Amino acid sequence: MNEIELKYGCNPNQKPSRVYMENGSDLPIEVLNGRPGYINLLDALNGWQLVSELKKATGLPAATSFKHVSPAGAAVGTPLTDIEKKIYWVEDLGELSPLANAYARARGADRMSSFGDFISLSDVCDADTARLVKREVSDGIIAPGYTDEALEILKAKKGGNYAVIKIDPDYVPEESEKKQVFGVTFEQGHNFIEINDEMFRNIVTDNKDLPESALIDLKIALITLKYTQSNSVCYVKDGQAIGIGAGQQSRIHCTRLAGQKADNWWLRQSPQVMGLQFVDDIRRADRDNAIDVYIGDEYEDVLREGEWQRIFKVKPAVFTREEKKAWLAKNTGVCLGSDAFFPFGDNIERAKKSGVEYIAEPGGSIRDDNVIETCNKYNIAMAFTGIRLFHH
């Protein structure tokens, strides 16, 4: 099969719509269930490239949660701590497989953005992962295969309409790729660049210490950025992206946006949030939204009289700015990747507030000296990769 007819394109008025192989060969994907849409397939094919590269770079199973052609989260399958099991809402599932751990991390890093995601898995989907996926609001999934039990679980999702796609893991795209904009055809070489250890040899700061754990996290950051709409930066800790700032016109806005997401991830692990007592019948999305508001500047929206009773069994105390600042100061060892150079040291100032100690960026700005000087002020180790990773 070299063509799939789609319901419509990016929007319902954009018809007809299809995906096909221009060279007449078979598509590398097979739809096992449901009917994926145009944006679903963009997410699926970008997400598959991301997780397959993460698996190759780390040797660990990988997962990503995509929304609107950028990852909301990406992670490898390392074991979850007890706290992570709680903040990702999987403590009732018992011990999970490494692949399920990867998706729990990818989904849990930014649950607000992951709502209604398209999932990509590097390995054959097992029953543990399928059970986790089944209870989340998601549009579909792509993987190189599915166990019989996993496939039956996923086919029952969304009233039998959940999109399940199998991809040929041996498929390699052609050397050049094309797309049209306003009737004009663009052509470029496919981005085959490999993120490997050699990219991090040029450490330009006074601090030259780049431990193996940071090297892995920096690779995760850059591979994630390779498939994130630019401009973009990515904060990573302990094998998972914890904050992704995608598609911003200004790099400092990327750094702030992703930094705030990383801060939210860390704040969710605070005693104030871990101690929240939700009403028994609260929906998962409402609970996630309540946490997001509670740790933000508009916390009064969930604490005012008549509102908190719908969400909490006991009215929480205000999570004060001073308390949040003190908790955020405990987040350390964070890695930061950028898809292009940092033009000013203000990005480093903001990154430091979110616990960043290791950075990888291309370098090449006329203000590289200012960026390096700011890193040295905070004893941050920074590598210049010499490689830009724009994705559009």
- Cα separation of the two ends of the chain: 28
Q: Which residues are catalytic?
A: 67-68, 231, 392
Q: In sequence order, what are the residues at sequence separation of 6 or more whose Cβ sits closer than 8 angstroms to the Cβ of residue 292?
A: 112, 264
User: For the chain, where are the E strands, in sequence order?
Assistant: 3-6, 17-20, 29-33, 62-67, 70-76, 117-121, 138-143, 163-167, 176-181, 184-189, 232-237, 240-246, 334-338, 356-361, 381-384
156 to 93, 128, 163, 278, 283: CA distances (angstroms)? 19, 15, 11, 29, 20
Asked if 244 and 71 touch (Cβ cutoff 8 Å), the reply is yes
Task: Report how far residue 143's alpha carbon sits from residue 165's, in angstroms, rounded to the nearest whole number.
Answer: 7
177 to 75, 192, 278, 334: CA distances (angstroms)? 28, 11, 50, 35
Asked if 104 and 96 touch (Cβ cutoff 8 Å), the reply is yes
Quickly count: other Cβ atoms within 10 Å of residue 98's Cβ: 18
**299 phi, psi to nearest 5 deg:** -55, -25
**340: which DSSP letter?**
S
Instruction: Put residue 17 in one of left, alpha, beta given phi > 0 → left and psi -120 to 50 → alpha.
Output: beta
Please list the residues that pair with 146 across neighbouring strands: 125
Chain center to CA of 86: 19
Torsion on CA atoms 336, 55, 142, 179, rounded to nearest 10: 70
**107: which DSSP letter?**
H
Kindly tell me the burial class for residue 265, based on how many C-beta atoms sit within 10 Å of its own C-beta (0-12, 13-18, 19 or more).
Answer: buried
Longest dimension (CA), the chain: 63
